[in-house]
Structure 1
Amino acid sequence: MKKRRLFFRIIGGLVLIFIIVTVFNALLVKSKQPSPKPTDVVIDEGKAVEHLSQAITFKTVSYQDRSKFDFTEFTKFISFLEESYPGVHDHLELEKINEYALIYKWKGSDSSKNPIGLTSHYDVVPVLDGTEGNWEHTPFSGTVENGKIWGRGTLDDKIGVIGILEAVEFLVNDGFKPARDVYIMFGFDEEIGGDKGALEIVNTLKERGITFDFVLDEGGAIVENMVPGVDQPVGVVGISEKGSATAELSIEGSGGHSSQPKNQTNIGRIASAIAKLEDTQFTGDLRGPGEDLFEYVAPEMSFTMKYVFANKIIFEPIIEQILLQQPATAALIRTTIAPTIFQAGEQYNALPEKATAIINHRLMPGDSLEEVKTFIEDTIEDDDIKVTITGSEASKVSSINGWEFKSIQQAARNVYNNAVIAPYLMFAGSDAKHYDSISKNTYRFLPVQITSEDLNRMHGTNEHISKDNFIQAIKFYAEIIKESNQ
């Protein structure tokens, strides 16, 4: 009996120590949000809204087939910018790359400092044939109604172009002079990869030996109800973007009549391979930018959630299992598998001699193309299926510890006082990846407060932005230039 009581006392003591230590860890968690310095930027809202409305009317559409580009629209758009922003064009040097990519240089008082760069793009995706009638206002009308601006580009990404230029025009007219050089860079083919726009801007600046302390592009936004346990809207700043790779699985063999099939046909073997991949999946691992996100939002959570994340070393397997339950959070912690194309057969009663499947992967930072290929081959266990993989790995991970990220965070808080601003891993691609080679840091953030429905509208039907959101974006761009003035 004495030994049993002693045993339970020891167990009870250990449990008590565990509770004390873990609760203490939770109590030590402090907010990583800077105190807001409410912005004093005052914008001529009517003129700004009119400018964005006009910008939408130019059909600067990017097509995969470049021969379809209507460059007269691009030329007219550039002329519109020159007419609309006299202060910008009087005080900043403008250079055109490949005729349509734009570099504005705002010379600072101390050019020995590394410059900063703000970038965006003014090309837009096409409107899907047959959907034009589903728009409440025609896609290139720029209609302003009920406090909203309508049209293709209001979210992606003429709002960035016009927002930046409105901010610079305000600062120039207000007498502001930057301490370091500021580059404003606009691509014209981001929607199809940016090879003629952003990439050529980068090549030009690289030849001149330009190195940025940071470049800020579009990317994450301020989203409500994004993180469980956080009541405030969360603004996510991409510090890296996942790689994008295409894996092709193909098999060839004898076809024959469908009346005498083998136990496993070419289609069946490819289908079996895909099923194995979807059943297995890459291992989830809360690391890198995904881990950084929760370190920044955990202090703003309820105590229960704060307790869990403050003791991540203990609860990490549970956290990862929870995150893997939803596609959006699963993509934050693992390389993804998305079969997108299946090709096989031409005749209903003939077995195909070849079957091919295309799988899109979004790679976590640190995962290589070769590792993805090896994972596929080891998982499908079929030596007759040929696996080829092409694409790009994740971009480098930018710092969250220096003044660069802290300036973005402060600028966002100055405008969105109640928002939690945190780093994260961006799933989609942007022009930012091109700037990695000439910038110490590249960040991805669109300074607007949006809903999940807005995200679906970016390349979809009824794209629009509220006037208030647009004005707040302008103020952010002015604030980030001021906050970087060091």
Structure 2
Amino acid sequence: MKKWKMVLLGLASLFVLFTIVTGFKTFILTSKQPEPQPVKIDVPGEGAVARFSKAITYPTISRQDYSQFSYAEFDDFLGFLEDSYPLVHEQLHLDKVNDYGLIYRWQGSEETKLPIGLTAHYDVVPVLEGTETDWGQSPFSGEVVDGKVWGRGTLDDKIGVIGILEAVEKLLSEGYQPKRDVYLLFGFDEEVGGEKGAQAIAEKLKQRNIKFEFILDEGGAIIEGMVPGLAKPVGVVGLSEKGMATAELSAEGSGGHSSQPENQTNIGRISRAIAKLEKAQFPADLQGPAEDLFAYTAPEMKGAMKYVFANQAIFEPVIESILLKKPTTAALLRTTIAPTIFQAGEQYNALPEKAKAIINLRVMPGESLEDVQSYIEETINDELVQVSVTGNEASSVSSIDSWHFKSIQQAARNVYPEAVIAPYLMFAGSDARHYDEIAENTYRFLPVLITAEDLNRMHGSNEHISIDNFLQAVSFYQELIVNADHQAGDR
């Protein structure tokens, strides 16, 4: 047999073997979704919706300058909570931290079990001046129109606060007694970092030597059209959140008249540095929570996409190229850079003696700020550009093998049986990171079914949520509290 025929035969054999192995891996791929135990949404709908609507009318706006808080509105909101949830305030112990951070303790019947914590925040971002007329309903009206509740906080995050309180009030009305302690932890400044709210709450609990099985905060949601190749809505539970850091690039040199510029001005030097960073980007790698996301969603896919994602180890370069095409999925794979501020010059005909740019970074788990700074310096490769990186690294990555994650997944499947519930990496920040030291695991999940367009409304115009979604969120929190009671977890 001629040599070239032997080569072709060998290649054909390898191709057949490759096809058999990858096809078999695709065939044996099994679902990681628990069987749903659908629940009847047993919530006092009309009263719950009315209370939720009322909660939106309080403009509890947080601002970078704490002296600019309208604390009277916060006081009124807390009075509203006390009036609206009498059983919670009669039967749970309430501590306040910095006057407005709330710690409710629902004492369990078994002291040997570690507690769980449900956290949310009741502060909201301001409505951008000049956009008020863009709203279909006034942003602090709480109007109920066409089966939807409108206003700032309906998605971020009064729905979490009110959803949790409605769930606990309902369980208390039925005489339910949890086995383990349940803590309700509500911050009031999450939108500006949570320093006086969640961070102070976590510090107080740490001083009391309280350790949690898990903490659940806002974060991911059940989103339609999120994962390529999967028609079903996907509920993403954040295992970690990317770090948030600031890189400052600065260059100094002689100024002078603009009629006699040097070949490389300070503005040009900083612009060149940014252009290099945007062209190079940080290295991409499908790992950690992003890899877990596709491990959980691949079994639910069909056709070619299922084949590709079922064989991640082989097709990782192909998968990465697909994900890198969209900003929303590219952010799963790498630290992101976003130049947001450029400062230089005061007059049109004078060269600035200094130029500075600010870059917002969202840092992947496992990358330190030192790693980030080194990469930026190596990529820019310009000794005259000074680089300074400050901020927070990514939070720790929580377990997908624990009963904690499985309880969240089961509760979500019970309320949304058509959804695929999977782990993921959260891009934005949340209060959950403040609880890392006092909880075995921290998760980020808002139990609502929304679209990508809804995500843009969270800090934008026309924020609203359907009544059905709100009531399903209440039902989820009830399910989770009850499910957690059936698990182990001794002190």
State the TM-score, normalized to the length of structure 2: 0.98
2:154 corresponds in structure 1 to 154
Q: Aligned partners of 2:111, 2:396: CA distance in 1, in Å? A: 26
Match of 1:385 in 2: 385
**Aligned residue number for residue 64 of structure 2:** 64
CA distance in 1, matches of 2:332, 2:382: 30
Letter in 1 for 2:224: E
1:86-485 maps to which residues of 2 (within 5 A)?
86-485=86-485
**C-alpha distance in 1, partners of 2:3/2:463?**
72
The 3-state SS of whatever aligns with 2:378 is helix
Q: Secondary structure at the match of 1:104?
A: strand
Moved more, 190-199 or 168-177: 168-177
Structure 1 contact 250–355 (Cα < 8 Å) conserved? yes
Measure how far apart 1:59 and its partner are: 1.3
Which whole-Å deviations, capped at 9, do the CAs of 1:25-83 have from their partners, x for residues lacking one?
11111000000011145111000000011101111110111111111111111111111
Deviations 1:333-365 (A, max 9, x none): 000011000000000000000000000110000
SS at match of 1:333: coil
Q: Are the counterparts in 2 of residues 232 and 420 from structure 1 also a CA contact under 8 Å?
A: yes
* Number of equivalences: 486
Given that 2:41 and 2:472 are in contact with CA atoms closer than 8 Å, whether structure 1 keeps it comes out as: no
- Structure 2 Cα separation of the partners of residues 137 and 41 of structure 1: 28
4+ long deviations beyond 4 Å? none
CA distance in 2, matches of 1:8, 1:279: 41
Deviation at 1:282, TM superposition (A): 0.7
Distance 1:5 1:448 in 2: 60
Contact 2:247 2:387 (C-alpha < 8 Å) held by counterparts? yes
For residues 38-57 of structure 1, what are the structure 2 equivalents within 5 Å?
38-57=38-57
Task: Tell me the amino acid that sits aligned with residue 223 of structure 1.
Answer: I
In the alignment, residue 283 of structure 2 is paired with which amino acid? Answer: T
- What is the CA–CA distance in structure 1 between the aligned matches of 2:41 and 2:178, rounded to whole Å? 16
Alpha-carbon deviations, 1:159-209, whole Å to 9, x = none?
Answer: 000000000011111122111110001000111000001011101100110
Q: Secondary structure at the match of 2:331?
A: helix
- Tell me the amino acid that sits aligned with residue 323 of structure 2: L
In structure 2, give the amino acid aligned to 1:76: D
Determine helix, strand or coil for the equivalent of 2:336: coil
Distance 2:321 2:448 in 1: 31
Structure 2 segments unaligned to the other structure (5+ residues): none
The letter of the residue matching 1:104 is Y
Distance 1:172 1:41, change over 3 A: farther
Q: CA deviation at 1:7?
A: 3.2
Secondary structure (helix, strand or coil) at the match of 1:480 reads: helix
Q: Distance in 2 between matches of 1:334 and 1:85?
A: 44
CA contact (8 A) 1:121 1:186 kept: yes
Deviations 1:441-462 (A, max 9, x none): 0000010011111111101111
Alpha-carbon shift at residue 309 of structure 1 (Å): 1.5
Asked if 1:84 corresponds to 2:73, the answer is no
Look up the equivalent residue of 1:296 and give its one-letter code: Y
Kindly indicate whether the alpha-carbon contact (under 8 Å) linking 2:43 and 2:471 is maintained by their aligned counterparts in 1. Answer: yes
Counterpart-to-counterpart distance in 2, 1:48 and 1:259: 69
Whole-angstrom distance in 2 between the partners of 1:78 and 1:87: 15
CA distance in 1, matches of 2:134, 2:3: 77
Rounded Cα–Cα distance in structure 1 between residues aligned with 2:157 and 2:465: 11
Deviation, 1:11, is 2.2
- SS in structure 1 of the partner of residue 406 of structure 2: helix
Q: 2: distance between equivalents of 1:178 and 1:205?
A: 20
List gaps (5 residues or longer) in structure 1.
Answer: none
1:220-260 per-position Cα deviation (integer Å, ceiling 9, x unaligned): 00000111111110000000000001000001110000000
The residue type equivalent to 2:336 in the other structure is: T
Residue type of the alignment partner of 2:443: Y
In 2, Cα distance between equivalents of 1:33 and 1:250 = 50
- TM-aligned CA deviation for residue 10 of structure 1: 2.4
What is the CA deviation profile of residues 395-422 of structure 1, one whole-angstrom value per residue up to 9, with x for unaligned ones? Answer: 0000000100000000000000000000
Equivalent residues of 1:41, 1:478 under 8 A apart: no
Provide Cα deviations, 1:303-342, integer angstroms capped at 9, x if missing partner: 3212112211111111111111111111000000110000
Aligned-pair identity (%): 66
C-alpha change, 1:41 and 1:482, in structure 2 (3 Å) is farther
SS at match of 1:294: helix
> Hey, what's the Cα distance between the residues in 1 that align with 2:18 and 2:466?
50
TM-score between both structures, scaled by the size of structure 1: 0.99
Paired AA for residue 388 in structure 2 = T
Contact 1:238 1:443 (8 Å CA) reproduced: yes
Structure 1 distance, partners of 2:219, 2:474, is: 16
Shift of 1:86: 1.1
* Secondary structure in 2 matching 1:19: helix
**Offset, 1:2:** 4.3
One-letter code of the match for 2:220? G
